[in-house]
Structure formats: C-alpha cells, structure tokens
Amino acid sequence: MARAWRFGDNIDTDLIIAARYLNTSDLSELSKHIMEDADADFVKKATAGDFIVAGENFGCGSSREHAPAAIKAFGIKGVVGKSFARIFYRNAFNTGLLIYETKEAGRIENGDDIEIDSKSGEIVNKTKNQRYRYEPIPEFMQAIADAGGLMKYAAEEIKNGAK
C-alpha cells in the first residue's frame, strides 16, 4: 500500500527540510526531519514507498537540493502536486525523486491508497476508485530519474561511451 500524505499550497523548501538541519549533508540524517515544520509527526507516520501529495507551488523558496534529496532518502516514492516550483522540479529529477504534476491532486486526500501507472500515465486512487491523468514526464527527465539522479545518469552515459 502506498499512502498519500497531503500538504497544502506553497510548501517551501524550509518546510520540507528546515535550515536548522543543514549543518550536515548526511541524507539519512536529513531524512529524519522531512516535513517536520509542516507536520511534526510526519516521519513517525509515513513509511518508505508512500507519496507526498501537494497543492500549488510545492518546493518554492530557496533552491536547496537537500529538500528533494532528503525526501528521496526517506523513501518517499514520489510527489504528486498541482504545480511545482521550477528549481525544485529540476532538483527533484537531479536527485532521482519522481514528480507527478496533475491539476487533480486536490482530489487525493490524506491516507488515500494511491499508485502510479506509468504505462497509462495515470495516478490510481484505490481508496476512491478514481484515476487522474498526470502531465507526461519528458523522456530525458524520466531517463535521469530511472538512473537514480543526474550524477548516476551521467556516470552511466560515460560508462556506455556517450559524448
């Protein structure tokens, strides 16, 4: 089961991972504090494989790559949202965190059981027996995410002799 954890609009990177924790780059340590200022008990309730569901402009604020990296390190499978701050969107793919953009994100409620059907391009809400289309992920961005992030993608390209 992949549970949805719902957050509102304009969740900035300081709510995702507060600046007070940025004295380390240890992602396993940072992952213990994701979403803490938005929901103090989030890491106690969520489990690896769950999804964060957001409203508009998720990841706004500073351009810290720690935010998507810490979410991924916790084991969150991806973030479903109405829209994303541009730098967060790119940083998410650079770290290998999948992003699913749909105007229907507001129909997903806290605790709903959801899954992503990448073949059909749909988010399946098993709790409500509903399906929502998401914006297709550009092929190049999907390849970066599939590789586990930009650095792993580049290493694989070099290994395979790409120029």
pLDDT (tens digit, 9 = 90+) per residue, 44-68? 999 999 999 999 999 999 888 999 9
Residue 150 maps to a domain: no
pLDDT per residue as tens digits for the range 91-123? 999 999 999 999 999 999 999 999 998 888 999
Q: Residue 73's pLDDT band (boundaries 50, 70, 90)?
A: very high
Give the per-residue pLDDT at 109. 97
Residue 158 maps to a domain: no
CATH of the domain at 68: 3.20.19.10
Please give the model's pTM, rounded to 2 decimal places. Answer: 0.92
Candidates 98, 84, 108; CA nearest to 137 is 98
Residue 147 maps to a domain: no
Residue 153 maps to a domain: no
Residue 160 maps to a domain: no
Candidates 111, 144, 117, 147; CA nearest to 132 is 117
